[in-house]
Chain A
């Protein structure tokens, strides 16, 4: 299988990730932060190591502000549900994923919601964005990179505007964590939500929320934390406040190695590799009959998520053909982000999406281009 569906979840994972999960399951997978026998302590030490690694990776000092969740959607839900109160206004962008759009929309009986528009290449118009701010704007939520066309959004500029206007900023780093360098302290981001299973190379079932704000979201779920057990109210201390229930320790052990893998390879190197593949793909697609690239046509201001349409074959048929004839995995249709397609001009067609990881190669891209030329 040639796997070009890394924006959904990266595959394969580094061998060290698989090994760490196997070792955890076989050797010490006890409940962390609950008991005090040696396996439970080892488990809680591993979980902490991962917090430390992630805190450093995203530029915060306190590993306690790294919250483990089950995916990016879970992390986004914690912040959106936990900081907004009746009468507040929230701004998202049309390039956001349903994990943001549906979560904010579900609250519109009590809060006001505005969408910042996008240009036909998926980029944001900062002036238009800023014009949406009102006196009751409490939160801005924005994807860092479009999961449809790979366009990188102006996260630092939006963070600066939010800081100036005293607005909280939640960055959805689902398509950028591990691919684009992010230091949330330097960039002024209040909350970062990311899956562990995409660019961070951890397993599915892992996600993170990194908090860099004094405004701590109300818990989304309540329950056992292994701490303050005599008290009926949820502890205030992080991460316990937002982490009720048993953690996915085998997943977290895998995620720890995923982050170490990225550090060892270097994020610049990963980004360079994906850019090279993207360049090959974009050049090749331009020369392929009946194919048009959606969004940015060159490698500037984008990552290795590329969408295209075929003029005579629908996107699901293209993906099915690539899978059955060439064992090439792509994703087709709307990618859980329909408003992005309205902005990009693909609301009726959807797109075929190719998305890279460090494990993809130029010969794989060449085979894809060959397969497309044979349609």
Chain B
């Protein structure tokens, strides 16, 4: 299974996106710490989701004006959004 990490600075935003993904799109996700290899400005959280949902979550972020540091492939930390 191919996963990606949606990176957020704030614990509130990561929880918000997790909650909306589940309630509105029935998409499950998991909150994890952002690996150090991904450039974030200090401590941060990521939402681990199946890569097939990357567009859904990216649109959600944009539509709601949320702040995210991007979406990265979990396997090699390549930036995909």
- Number of B positions contacting A (CB below 8 A): 19
B interface, over-half SS: mixed
- Binding-face segment, A127-135, A232-240, A325-333: A232-240
Query: A residues within 8 A CB of B42?
Result: 227-231
The segment from A44-52, A79-87, A215-223 that touches chain B is: A44-52
Does B32 make an interface contact (CB < 8 A)? yes
Given contacts A41-B31, A52-B19, whether A239 and B12 have CB atoms under 8 Å apart is yes
Contact A64–B43 (Cβ < 8 Å)? no
The residue on A at minimum CB distance from B23 is A52
Q: CB-defined interface of A43-72 with B at 8 Å, one 1/0 digit per residue?
A: 011011001100000000011100000000
Q: Is the CB of A32 within 8 A of B11?
A: yes
Nearest CB of chain A from residue B51's CB, rounded to whole Å: 21
A228 and B12 within 8 A (CB): no
A interface residues, tally (CB under 8 Å): 27
Complex CA–CA separation, A52 to B20 (angstroms): 11
Q: Is the interface of A mostly helix, strand, loop or mixed?
A: loop
CB nearest to B42 among chain A residues: A229
Judged by a CB distance under 8 angstroms, whether A34 is at the interface is yes
Is B41's CB under 8 angstroms from A229's CB? yes
Cβ 8 A contact of A48, one of B12, B43, B44, B67: B12
CA A142 to CA B16, docked complex, whole Å: 31
* A80: min CB distance to chain B, Å: 24
Chain A CB within 8 A of B72 CB: no
A44 to B10, alpha carbons, bound, how many Å? 11
A36 is an interface residue with CB less than 8 A from chain B: yes
A45-B15, A51-B12, A240-B10 known; A231+B41 contact, CB < 8 A: yes
Contacting residues, chain B, for A237 (C-beta < 8 A): 9-10, 12-13, 67
Within 8 A of A (CB), among B10-45: 10-13, 15-16, 18-19, 31-33, 41-45
**Chain B residues whose C-beta falls within 8 Å of the C-beta of A238 in the assembled complex:** 12
CA distance A240 to B42 in the complex (A): 14
A226 within 8 A of B: yes
In the bound complex, how far is the Cα of B14 from the Cα of A227, in angstroms?
11
Interface: A284 (CB within 8 A): no
Q: How far is the CA of A67 from the CA of B51 in the complex (A)?
A: 33
B63 CB to nearest A CB, Å = 12
Contact of A36 among B10, B12, B19, B33 (CB under 8 A): B33
| Complex Cα gap A48–B13 (Å) | 9
Kindly list chain B residues whose C-beta atoms are within 8 Å of the C-beta of A62.
16, 64
| Given contact pairs A36-B32, A235-B10, A48 touches B16 in the complex (Cβ within 8 A) | yes
Point out residues on B near A: beta carbons under 8 Å.
9-13, 15-16, 18-19, 31-33, 41-45, 64, 67
Give the B-binding residues of A (Cβ under 8 A). Answer: 32-36, 41, 44-45, 47-48, 51-52, 62-64, 225-231, 235, 237-240
- Between-chain CB contacts (< 8 Å), 10 pairs: A33-B10, A35-B33, A36-B31, A48-B12, A63-B12, A64-B16, A229-B43, A237-B67, A240-B9, A240-B10
The 5 closest A-B pairs by CB, nearest first: A229-B42, A36-B33, A33-B11, A48-B15, A230-B42
Given A33-B45, A227-B42, A230-B42, 8 extra CB contacts under 8 A:
A32-B11, A44-B11, A48-B15, A227-B10, A229-B42, A230-B41, A235-B9, A237-B10
